[in-house]
Amino acid sequence: MTDFIIIGGGVAGTSAGAYLSSLGTVLLLEAEPNLAYHASGRSAALFEESYGKPSTVALNAASRDYHVENNILSPRGLMLVGTANDANAFDTEHTQMGLDAMSMAEAKAMVPILNTTHIDRAGYHADAWDLDTDLLIQSYVKTIRKNGGTITTKSPVTAITKTGAGWTVDTKTETHAAPILINAAGPWVDQIAAMAGITPIGFTPLRRSMGRIPAPGGHDVSTWPMIFGTNEAWYAKPDAGALIVSPAEEHLMDPHDAFADDMVLAEGMARYEECVTEPVTRLLASWAGLRTFAPDRTLVIGPDPTAANFIWCAGQGGYGMQSSPAAGQLLADLVNNSAPSIAAASVKALSPARFR
C-alpha cells in the first residue's frame, strides 16, 4: 500500500519524500535514469539566506539547521562588485543582501584579478556557503529508504486518473495507486497538473547557462568568494580548482533537457571579462538548467484548493537547493494538518490558493 506518490526526482521531490516518509509509505517516480538529472544537478550550489522574496528567505532561514547538521555547507563568502554607472542598483543590492562595505584594496586582496580600472565599488559578507548538492540529495534519499519508501527511476509518468480512493498513475510499464499525489516535476509541473485534470498555474521555465573556465592566471581560487556583477549581469564561483561563470540569463523555454546557448555564454563571459584582468582563454565545460518560477516568483507548496489530495511542490526558481529542507517540512506539515514551523504569513504566501 502506497500513501504518497511523488512525481519528480529532483531536490523538490526527494526533500518532500524525506519528510513525508515519516508519515506514510512513499513511492517516488523519476523519468530519467538518475535522480537530480535536470536543474537539481546543474545549480551553482550556493546557500545565501537573503536571496529571494520574503517567503523564500523564511524557507532559507528555516533550512539552515538541516544543512548544518548534515554537513552540507562549507565556507564561501559573497562579493558584489559595481561601477559608478550602476551605483543605484549596487546600493540597493548591497543593502538587500546585508553586505559590509569594502575598499577596493580589500576586494583585490581577496580576488587579485579584479579590474580596478573598471570596478570602483565592492561589498562582501562571509555568510554565504557552498552547498554540497550531491550530499543533500543523498541525505533525502537515505531517509526515504530508511523509512521504507521506494524510488523508481526510468519511470516517466504518462497518465494520471482521479479515482474514488485518490489517484492512479501510469508509467510506461506499471500502474500505481495512492490517496495523495505530489507534483514535484520541476519545469513539467503544469503538464503534470493538466494530466491530472487540475488547472495549471502558469509556471515559466527560464534557462540559465554556465561555463567552467580554468583558474584565471593560474591563481589558487579555492578561497575566493562567489562574485556577482551588479544587476546579476554575471556571476563567478570557484568550483573544484576552476571557476564557473554564468551570464545569469533568464530566457523563457519550454520544458526540455536544457543546454547552454553559446552566444549568451559568450556575451556573459565578455561582461565578466570587463571586470577582471585575466582573459577567458578556453571553456572546460558548459551546461544549462531551467529555473522554474511561478508568476509571482514565489514557491508553490501545498494542496490545490480544487483537489486537497493534489499537492504542489513547485516554482523553486533559483533557490530550490537551499530552501529544500524547510519546503519539504512545510509540505509534510500541510499534508499532516500539523502546525507549520514557519510564520503563517509565509505559509499563505506559498500556498497554491493564491492563484485560485
Residues that bind ligand FAD (CB under 6 A): 7-13, 29-32, 37-40, 42-46, 156-157, 184-188, 208, 210, 246, 289, 291, 316-322
For ligand FAD, the closer CB: 5 or 111: 5
Q: What is the DSSP letter of 278?
A: S
For ligand FAD, the closer CB: 210 or 347: 210
Which residues is 102 bridged to in the sheet? 122
Contact 29, 206 (CB under 8 A): no
Q: What is the DSSP letter of 23?
A: T
User: Minimum distance from CB of 35 to ligand FAD (Å)?
Assistant: 7
Sign of the four-CA dihedral 343, 346, 348, 350 = negative
User: Minimum distance from CB of 209 to ligand FAD (Å)?
Assistant: 7
d(CA 320, CA 56): 9
Task: Count Cβ atoms within 10 A of the Cβ of residue 165 and give its class: 0-12 exposed, 13-18 middle, 19 or more buried.
Answer: exposed
User: Minimum distance from CB of 205 to ligand FAD (Å)?
Assistant: 9
Contact 130, 74 (CB under 8 A): yes
Contact 309, 180 (CB under 8 A): yes
User: Minimum distance from CB of 210 to ligand FAD (Å)?
Assistant: 5
User: Minimum distance from CB of 194 to ligand FAD (Å)?
Assistant: 11
For the beta sheet containing 166-171, the strands, ordered from the edge strand earlier in sequence to the opposite edge, are: 157-163, 166-171, 175-178
For ligand FAD, the closer CB: 77 or 112: 77
26 Cβ contact partners less than 8 Å away, ≥ 6 residues apart: 2, 3, 4, 6, 17, 20, 144, 147, 149, 150
54-69 vs 324-335: helix crossing angle, rounded to 10: 100
User: Minimum distance from CB of 77 to ligand FAD (Å)?
Assistant: 14
User: Minimum distance from CB of 332 to ligand FAD (Å)?
Assistant: 16
For ligand FAD, the closer CB: 256 or 338: 256
For ligand FAD, the closer CB: 277 or 355: 355
For ligand FAD, the closer CB: 33 or 164: 33
For ligand FAD, the closer CB: 42 or 125: 42
For ligand FAD, the closer CB: 289 or 352: 289
Torsion of CA 274, 276, 279, 282, to 10 degrees: -100
d(CA 267, CA 273): 10
User: Minimum distance from CB of 95 to ligand FAD (Å)?
Assistant: 21
